[in-house]
Structure 1
């Protein structure tokens, strides 16, 4: 091993950086159910700093990354600050941080992938078989489920959501709303200024549908909290979001305490 490290010093940065790139790529790929493309780049100048475990930056970019079998990101990118690692751990196929580090990050979600996420079990269980008094009063006592949810991205961080509310014996009522996406405390996604879209609902259902719209808005506002989705050892925060055509773009940062062991 000592001979190998001595040889490494004479070969420049390629050997060490390639080793770390390979180990980091393998580690990160295991965090995703599916991965269309993943590129990792470690920067370290001069290369001799690698032996002390000192890295200038660590960059990852990926496409078609699927998290927990259900949540697809079109693109994900992050770059860390300077990182201190245990270089000997890399020789064993692992990346071990000596101290926490931060990274700036950007995530892009396609409209079609957001709609697919609404079908995930983790999301459906917060939208189906609801028994809150405000809902059962409308259904005559039966549990209520919001189904067939379709989200449309609009300019200026606005979205439109169309859905159906299954009221059991009281029937199925269409629901339609527009709102503006925002962020609270850098971790919770907000659906602000929820507005009932009466033109998208038959006149005979509008009174009930408007009440259901208010309830759906409240449910959505309590659904997306990043602390529920953090990877092992990583705390994520959002600084900014923006709708760009059929893409929703999140920019933010991550506090990395240790390299995640699981997705």
Structure 2
């Protein structure tokens, strides 16, 4: 029954329940990610006998080098709950199950490198290629337009520099350069606002086209990042604020945890 669980030789010890739950929780949470460099879980339950009733005082998780749904790299993720009710019987069988929904304070750190990798993910690429939008196809003689190469640079004060090449599907590539402000909207969306379009490095013959394409790309990005599309089964993320800090983008908010998900997009 306790296969793989360590530190249980002395069930009368005051921390045997915490050790068991830490092990089960670490194994459960690690399986939510396609990859994980480290996942550390700290469960507080004093006295340990409370665990028999399924009551724990707090639950903390810190993860580094995480990958979600095979393509989305997270440099750091942490969350912490208050008191939580769990199913002790499930713990004995090596599983983690909540008796009732709970909330956790959460922080997520993305790196500039990880953000740029995400633009190569199929989930993102399909929103940036073969766009049959009248405002764009007018520029390409009726052909779908794509933005196959998008690069992001993090700037101070919650701004991003975005560079891209727009493929008009007629043999012409048009450079796109701009800076945008990012902010949290309705606690679940990331908005891309106030685009400042830079045409200085664009050939003069393409500047009018680049202006239109830049505005279109800013609008596409503004409608793209909705956290509900990335939720794990049973877990919803909600954001209170974001901040650019060097080459990191830091989100803080909370997670609404209805149940512990069984998996989180692991490779098949």
TM-score, normalised via structure 1 length = 0.95
**Structure 1 position 170, deviation (Å):** 5.5
Question: What is the distance in 2 between the residues matched to 1:131 and 1:67?
Answer: 30
Could you list the structure 1 runs, at least 4 aligned residues long, displaced by more than 6 angstroms after superposition: none
In structure 2, the partner of 1:44 is: 45
Query: Is 2:86 the partner of 1:85?
Result: yes
In structure 2, the partner of 1:138 is: 139
Question: What is the distance in 1 between the residues matched to 2:89 and 2:28?
Answer: 16
Which structure 1 residue ranges, 5 or more long, are not aligned?
none
Query: Is 2:106 the partner of 1:105?
Result: yes
Is contact 2:17-2:45 (8 Å) kept?
A: no
Equivalent residues in 2 for 1:1-263, closer than 5 Å: 8=11, 10-12=12-14, 14-169=15-170, 171-263=172-264
DSSP-derived class of the 1:200 partner: coil
**Structure 1 position 168, deviation (Å):** 1.2
Is contact 1:140-1:170 (8 Å) kept?
A: no
Question: What is the distance in 1 between the residues matched to 2:252 and 2:202?
Answer: 35
Question: What is the distance in 2 between the residues matched to 1:200 and 1:60?
Answer: 46
Is contact 2:176-2:210 (8 Å) kept?
A: yes
Question: What is the distance in 2 between the residues matched to 1:170 and 1:142?
Answer: 11
Is contact 2:158-2:181 (8 Å) kept?
A: yes
DSSP-derived class of the 2:170 partner: helix
Question: What is the distance in 2 between the residues matched to 1:169 and 1:95?
Answer: 55
Which structure 2 residue ranges, 5 or more long, are not aligned?
2-7
Question: What is the distance in 2 between the residues matched to 1:199 and 1:45?
Answer: 64
**Structure 1 position 173, deviation (Å):** 0.4
Q: Which has the higher contact order (CA 8 A, sep 6+)?
A: 2
The structure whose residues are more often helix, as a share, is 1
TM-score, normalised via structure 2 length = 0.93
**Structure 1 position 200, deviation (Å):** 2.9
**Structure 1 position 255, deviation (Å):** 0.6
What is the number of residues matched between the two proteins? 257
Cα-Cα RMSD: 1.3
DSSP-derived class of the 2:260 partner: coil
